[in-house]
Chains A and B, each alone.
Chain A
Amino acid sequence: MLLKSGYHVNSNTPSEAYLIPLRLTWEPGALDSVAVIFPKAHLEKYEFSEKPLSVFTGDFELVTKFKVAEKASNGPGMVLGRLRYQACNRNSCLPPRVAEIKFPVVIQ
């Protein structure tokens, strides 16, 4: 994920309860998600919060470990996911958004 300079998204474990966390979820299908691994978040201080916030900035990767689902049949399939994020800069926030993720797989 690459954020524009000056923007941040809350990490998967925000510092404040009112903040919207970064979430990556996968739909059941040919692959089962075993784990979603987030990078180490930055702690950054913003004027609007008394304590530093746990955020991601710039260029970072989210890694998902999959295994083939027990009921998956051989052949082509599609893996579907949703990334929910909410971004701000120091002066304003954008509404939460969901990015649909989709990629093909072939089970052999």
Chain B
Amino acid sequence: MLSIHSRLLAAAGISFALVLAGCNSSKPVRPVASVSKDDKPLKIAPEFALKDADGKTVRLSDYKGKVVLLDFWATWCGPCKIEIPWFIEFERTYKDKGFAVIGIATDDEGWTVVKPFISELAINYRILKSESATEESYVKGGIEALPTTFLIGRDGKIAAEHVGLTGKDEFEDGIKRLLEGRGIVQERAWGGLTGGFAPAMLSGAK
């Protein structure tokens, strides 16, 4: 409890520090920069119906039979800006082979900030505005970190999930394998996250 004498304050004001102490994490620690491969059945990529920049509703099922790279990103996410030029290149190189990139923008401000960004980076693939239900359907509890990218095979199943910045070659290898029908071992990778997903928590003030 802080006791404050108004007369003293009127004369000089008061200064005190708020100390926000961090803790390790509010969630279980995830594998660090590792790829887990297992024999679990591949998960069908959840259907969504989201708006594009023109207000048109786009569904994942519109891409049935294609290999899809589905990227959850945001304009304020620096690492996402590294991957986007790769995705532009992938779209250009592989779109005629049955491949498509879909970007799902998670910015709270929506198209106000996303549309200028699309123009600035000359993004050549479809961008959709995220909804929390879609994020929840792909990642239980919602998208935890950006970028989070899924590679979806022609059969509509999630073949790989990458959380965090991932290597260009790794993406491209996965795309090629899926386009050739070779499939890839199911992957769930966290790209360089050092532990949990809550780097700071408010534990109190004094």
We find that the number of chain B residues with CB closer than 8 angstroms to chain A is 54
Known: A19-B76, A46-B78, A95-B106. Contact between A4 and B3, CB under 8 A?
no
Q: Is the CB of B1 within 8 A of A105?
A: yes
| Count class of interface residues, chain A | 35 or more
Partner-B contacts on A (CB < 8 A): 1-7, 9, 18-20, 24, 31, 34, 46-49, 53, 61-68, 72, 74, 81, 83, 85-96, 99-108
Contacts of B22 in A (CB 8 A): 1-4
- Beta-carbon contacts under 8 Å, B1-52 to A: 1-6, 9-10, 13-22, 24
B79: chain A residues at CB < 8 Å are: 47-48, 88, 90-93
**Cβ of B78 and Cβ of A63 under 8 Å apart?**
no
The answer to whether A103 and B164 touch across the interface, beta carbons within 8 angstroms, is no
Q: Which 7 A-B pairs have the closest CB atoms?
A: A2-B22, A91-B192, A48-B78, A92-B164, A1-B20, A7-B199, A99-B202
Task: State whether A68 and B82 are in contact (beta carbons under 8 Å apart), knowing that A5-B194, A89-B192 are contacts in the complex.
Answer: no
B147 touches A92 (CB 8 A): yes
- Please, which residues of chain A bring their CB within 8 A of the CB of B195? 4
Q: Which of B15, B20, B144, B197 contacts A99 (CB 8 A)?
A: B20
